[in-house]
Amino acid sequence: MIGALAAWLVFSGVEIVGEGSCPDPAEVTRLLAQIAPSADRAGPAARRARLSRSADVVRVELLGTAGERLGERELDAGESCADLAAAAAVVVAAWEAELNPRVETRVSLPPPPARAATVVTAAPAPPAPPPRSGPRFDLGLGLLASLTGGQIAPGARIAGWLAPAGGHLGLGVAVSGTTARSAAVGALTNAARWSRFALAAGPEARFDVGRTMLDAHAQLLAAMLRVEGVGLTTTASDSAAQLGTGVGVQVGRPWGNATPWIGADLLYWPGHDRLEIAGLTTQGQLPHLEVQVALGLSLGRFP
């Protein structure tokens, strides 16, 4: 090749020969002149460096004037042609430093060829699944005032609520009772006293409005009605079951696991609940509508 024939003009101590172009003998010669600048460049080449390539390696051999092998080195053929040329030049320069006393032992390595910067961007880790929370629930106690038939009676209520995690619609259950009230039977004022203990159950929805919790519910009612006579020569008492319906609203302000609240309910008791006294033709009638206003505190898991 042209580079091999002219190699001695650049670096007279060693002639670089080879049949391939990767690495190129002329490029090896040029790099050799750079990294061993003080070599003697006068006179014919005394030694020869031969480059040969196979599938896996590039072999660099240093031959003497009589063709004897003075050194051999194998380079990985997987590198680029520029890297192989630079590596071959360094190998030959190192041999010359050992064999030729006029070549300085200091070898100036060429800068590595510039490589395109590779930016490795790690794929973002998938977000961790949110922790699963348990169901929403609470249990509360409230004091209530019941208005029906023009009379107000105090009472109490125990109520609970259960909904799936993250849900707003759940099941509400309550047990309530009030103190006894008086009722007239015909012309006899306050001739009877009656009280009612009720069980309520139905759908109950809760929503957060800012920091306020709003509750709306509808319920089916099952009650035990107890009536007894008052001030009569012969008194008697009786109990009967009642069915009814109710709707209501409740407003609370959660504070940790506690929520103070205030609510109002409208109850309707259908049917004909009559009050009778033996010997009297007139009868009394229990009211159908009842309004309850309650104030209480609930504990539970609200988020």
Q: For residue range 231-285, what is the model confidence (pLDDT) as tens digits?
A: 666 666 778 899 999 999 999 998 888 999 999 999 999 877 777 666 566 677 7
| CB proximity list for 288: less than 8 A, separation 6 or greater | 268, 269, 270
Reported pTM: 0.53
Q: How far apart are CA 174 and CA 190, in angstroms?
A: 30
> Residue 205 — φ and ψ, nearest 5°?
-110, 140
Domain residue spans in the chain?
A: 2-99, 136-301
Average pLDDT over residues 140-155: 92
pLDDT tens digits, 70-94: 788 888 877 888 888 888 888 888 8
CB atoms under 10 Å from CB of 152, counted, come to 13
Residues paired with residue 249 on neighbouring β-strands, in sequence order:
216, 264
Query: Could you tell me the pLDDT band of residue 115, with boundaries at 50, 70 and 90?
Result: low
**Do 2-99 and 136-301 share a fold?**
no
Token pair 């010359």: residue: 96
pLDDT at 105 over 50: no
Q: How far apart are CA 57 and CA 75, in angstroms?
A: 5
**pLDDT of 24:** 84
* Residues 216-249: b if buried by 16+ CB within 10 A, e if exposed: ebebebebebebebeebeeeeeeeeebebebebe
For the ranges 107-116, 254-263, 281-290, which has the lowest average pLDDT?
Answer: 107-116
Residue 99 in 3-state DSSP?
helix
| CB proximity list for 199: less than 8 A, separation 6 or greater | 173, 174, 175, 221, 222, 223
* More confident site: 86 or 46: 86
- The DSSP symbol for 233 reads S
CA 100 to chain CA mean position, Å? 71
Residues paired with residue 244 on neighbouring β-strands, in sequence order:
221
Measured between alpha carbons, how far apart are the two ends of the chain, in Å?
84
- Amino acid found at 58: V
Residues paired with residue 197 on neighbouring β-strands, in sequence order:
177, 224
Token pair 């977000």: residue: 127
pLDDT at 129 over 50: yes
Q: How far apart are CA 182 and CA 193, in angstroms?
A: 4
Choose which CATH entry (3.40.50.880, 3.30.160.150, 3.40.50.150, 3.40.50.720) describes domain 2-99. 3.30.160.150
Alpha-carbon torsion 245, 158, 215, 264, what sign?
Answer: positive
pLDDT at 43 over 60: no
Q: Please tell me the total number of residues recorded for the chain in this structure.
A: 303
For the ranges 24-28, 92-96, 222-226, which has the lowest average pLDDT?
Answer: 92-96
Q: Are strands 14-18 and 136-148 parallel, antiparallel or unpaired?
A: unpaired
- Amino acid found at 80: S
**pLDDT of 39:** 45
Render 151-163 in DSSP notation, one character per residue: EEEEEEEEEEEEE
CB atoms under 10 Å from CB of 123, counted, come to 5
| CB proximity list for 250: less than 8 A, separation 6 or greater | 214, 215, 216, 217, 261, 262, 263, 264
Q: Are 48 and 15 in contact (CB under 8 A)?
A: yes
The fold of the 136-301 domain, in CATH, is Porin (2.40.160)
pLDDT at 8 over 50: no
